[in-house]
Amino acid sequence: MKISPDVFMLEITRGKFMYQDRACYSMVYAVREPDGITLIDTGFPGFAYGILEELRTLGQHRLPLKQILLTHADLDHMGNAAWLQEKTGCPVWISMKEKVYVTGERSRLPEKQQMCRDCGLQIPRLQFYPPDRRIGEFEILDTPGHSAGHVCILYHGILFGGDLFSITDGTLQGANPQWSEDMETARRSLESLKPYKFTMLCPAHGLPDRRRDYL
């Protein structure tokens, strides 16, 4: 799905990940710039090859995968990052505050932890967002609550929301309480987005939608 001339929601991760007889999905977005493609999140494991295939269709030139920007360290966002990094050598960026889940200093919520174990989450080599919260044209917005170091990512008026909100049939909902660590902090994070200039919202769960008066 084309969101703007150079921003795409990949089709490959739209569905089909089965976990305990449930179909799960988590969207992956690609931003095409002259020097390569940036991925926002990487979806559930098992889609890495398909992601690379789909990226090749996005430009006439075989643009390299320049980098991966993660909103947080959950299975359905980091799922293919290690494989993609191994194949392309691209850097994988994440908030320093998500490191604790990767090192085991802090546990994810029990159900998430179980999913990571069951699915064998592979951890990429991580780089941490710099203090100025900018990676090229991407602005990194700290939006904790769903997890300790969750971020949203702003690019040319398009907001990539990770798990801070979802959108169903044009209705925005805040972070899912079942999967979020601190709902009050997540609510404040959602509020904190209001002053930013963006016209499109791209959630990990649900389809992209234009900004409405809900935010």
Report the alpha-carbon distance of residue 143 to residue 145 in Å, rounded: 7
Which residues in the 108-147 window bind Zn ion by CB under 5 A?
Answer: none
Size of the site for Zn ion (CB under 5 A): 2
Is residue 155 within 8 Å of residue 31, measured between CB atoms? yes
Binding window for Zn ion (CB under 5 A); candidates: 1-9, 88-96, 131-139, 161-169: 161-169
Instruction: Tell me how far, at minimum, the Cβ of 140 lies from Zn ion, in Å.
Output: 17
**Which part of the chain contacts Zn ion (CB under 5 A), choosing from 11-19, 30-38, 50-58, 156-164?**
156-164
Nearer to Zn ion, 67 or 166 (CB): 166
Interaction between residue 98 and Zn ion (CB under 5 A): no
In the bound state with Zn ion, the residue whose beta carbon lies nearer, of 66 and 152, is: 152
CA distance 183 to 24: 22
Minimum separation from the CB atom of position 163 to Zn ion (A): 4
Q: Which helix (H) or strand (E) segment is 200 a member of?
A: strand 200-203
- Of 1-9, 46-54, 79-87, 158-166, the segment contacting Zn ion by CB under 5 A is 158-166
Least Å distance, CB 34 to Zn ion, is 31
Among 6, 146, 7, 126, smallest CA distance to 70 is for 126
> How far apart are the C-alpha atoms of 64 and 22, rounded to whole Å?
34
SS3 assignment, position 38: strand
Q: In what order do the strands lie in the sheet with 36-40?
A: 2-4, 7-9, 29-33, 36-40, 65-69, 92-94, 126-128
In the bound state, the residue with its beta carbon closest to Zn ion is 74
41 binds Zn ion per the rule CB under 5 A? no
User: How many H helices and E strands in the chain?
Assistant: 6, 17
Of the pair 74, 98, the CB lying nearest Zn ion is at 74
Which window, 78-86, 95-103, 159-167, 186-194, contacts Zn ion (CB under 5 A)? 159-167
Does residue number 163 form part of the binding site for Zn ion (CB under 5 A)? yes
- Amino acid 207 reads L
Q: Which is nearer to Zn ion, 162 or 208 (CB)?
A: 162
When binding is defined by CB under 5 A, the residue of 17, 30, 66, 74 that contacts Zn ion is: 74
Q: Decide if 89 contacts 124 (C-beta within 8 A).
A: no
- At 34, the amino acid letter reads P
Interface with Zn ion by CB under 5 A: which residues?
A: 74, 163
